[in-house]
């Protein structure tokens, strides 16, 4: 197991909760990324992933495009990012100014037992810059995360903040059952998204469509 001398995920999450911009939408990846955020800052504007490693970033990108006037923050793990590296490249290509990508760099696959990454020392901020996300930085202190969150309204494109973090393998019990269907409907209601109604023989339409 990889061990370091860095702040905990909880330390960063507390700083994030204290500096969260108004009307922010927060997407969190599986395991403690979602469980701990739900414990510290449960809200209808959160989308918690369950059992879908590496897919938090694609969803957050789509959400940032669909909701251009709201800040979107996504928390992904280093292991999940390495599984779907193309998502980071797509973020760099689209470059939405309202999207903040937070990468938990703990060097392990925490949600599946703590297996060490094949390249735990990879500079993910430099990787993000090479993918087209110019506003990228390695973060080692929660105070720096809070400062970057408060300044995020002045940037012209997406940003990627890589948070050096201690591995947290012990599961944090969430305060409520994170049912994926309920999570989806709660977020849709929060952003006033029209419901998609499927038809009997395939296809469908938005509920508000005529």
pLDDT at 2: 45
Please indicate whether residue 110 or residue 131 has the higher confidence score (pLDDT).
131
Contact 78, 103 (CB under 8 A): yes
Question: Is pLDDT above 70 for 12?
Answer: yes
Residue 146 lies in a domain: yes
pLDDT of residue 21: 93
Q: Residue 26: helix, strand or coil by DSSP?
A: strand
Domain annotation covers residue 1 = no
Model confidence at 49: pLDDT above 50: yes
Q: Are 67 and 93 contacting, i.e. CB atoms less than 8 angstroms apart?
A: no
- Which range among 2-11, 107-116, 189-198 has the greatest average pLDDT? 189-198
Q: What is the mean pLDDT of residues 100-114?
A: 81
Residue 91: per-residue pLDDT = 97
List pLDDT tens digits, range 20-36: 999 999 999 988 899 99
Q: What is the mean pLDDT of the segment spanning 129-152?
A: 94
Q: What are phi and psi of 92, to 5 degrees?
A: -65, -30
Look at residue 116 and tell me if it is in a domain: yes
> CATH code at 201?
3.40.50.970
The answer to which of 58-72, 101-115, 141-155 has the lowest mean pLDDT is 101-115
Q: What is the pLDDT of residues 89-99, one digit of tens each?
A: 999 999 999 99
> Of 115, 124, 116, 8, which is closest to residue 57 (Cα–Cα)?
124
Q: Which residues is 131 bridged to in the sheet?
A: none
Asked, for residue 120, whether it belongs to a domain, the answer is: yes
Tokens 């990889």 sit on residue: 2
Contact 100, 136 (CB under 8 A): no
pLDDT at 79 over 50: yes
Q: What was the pLDDT predicted at 139?
A: 96
| Residue located via tokens 């330390």 | 11
- Look up the pTM and report it: 0.88
pLDDT average, residue stretch 128-138: 96
Burial category of 1 from C-beta neighbours within 10 Å (exposed 0-12, middle 13-18, buried 19 and up): exposed
Q: Which of 73, 135, 80 is nearest to 109 (CA)?
A: 80
Element (H, E) at 163: strand 159-164
The total number of structural domains that make up the chain: 1
C-beta neighbour count of 117 within 10 angstroms: 17
pLDDT at 202: 67
Residue 132, domain extent? 9-206
207 burial class (0-12, 13-18, 19+ CB within 10 angstroms)? Answer: exposed
Read off the pLDDT of each residue in 161-188 and give the average, rounded to a whole number.
Answer: 89
User: What is the rounded distance in angstroms from the CA atom of residue 59 to the CA atom of residue 61?
Assistant: 5
203: left (phi over 0), alpha (psi -120 to 50) or beta: left
Bridge partners for 23 per DSSP: none
Domain membership of residue 2 (yes or no) is: no
Whether 103 and 81 have beta carbons less than 8 Å apart is answered as: yes
């Amino acid at each position: 197991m990889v061990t370091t001398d860095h702040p905990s995920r909880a330390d960063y999450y507390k700083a994030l909760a204290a500096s969260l911009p108004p009307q922010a939408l927060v997407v969190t990846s599986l395991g403690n990324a979602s469980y701990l955020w739900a414990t510290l800052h449960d809200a209808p504007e959160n989308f918690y992933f369950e059992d879908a490693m590496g897919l938090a970033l694609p969803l957050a990108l789509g959400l940032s495009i669909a909701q251009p006037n709201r800040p979107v923050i996504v928390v992904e793990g280093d292991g999940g990012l390495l599984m779907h590296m193309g998502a980071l490249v797509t973020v760099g290509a689209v470059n939405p100014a309202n999207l903040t990508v937070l990468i938990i760099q703990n060097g392990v696959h925490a949600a599946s037992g703590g297996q060490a990454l094949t390249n735990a020392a990879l500079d993910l901020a430099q990787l993000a810059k090479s993918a087209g996300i110019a506003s990228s930085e390695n973060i080692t202190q929660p105070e720096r995360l809070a400062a970057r969150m408060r300044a995020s309204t002045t940037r012209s494109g997406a940003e990627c903040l890589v948070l050096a973090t201690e591995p947290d393998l012990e599961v944090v019990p969430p305060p409520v059952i994170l049912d994926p269907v309920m999570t989806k409907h709660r977020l849709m209601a929060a952003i006033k998204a029209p419901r998609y109604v499927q038809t009997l023989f395939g296809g469908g339409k938005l509920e508000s469509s005529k």
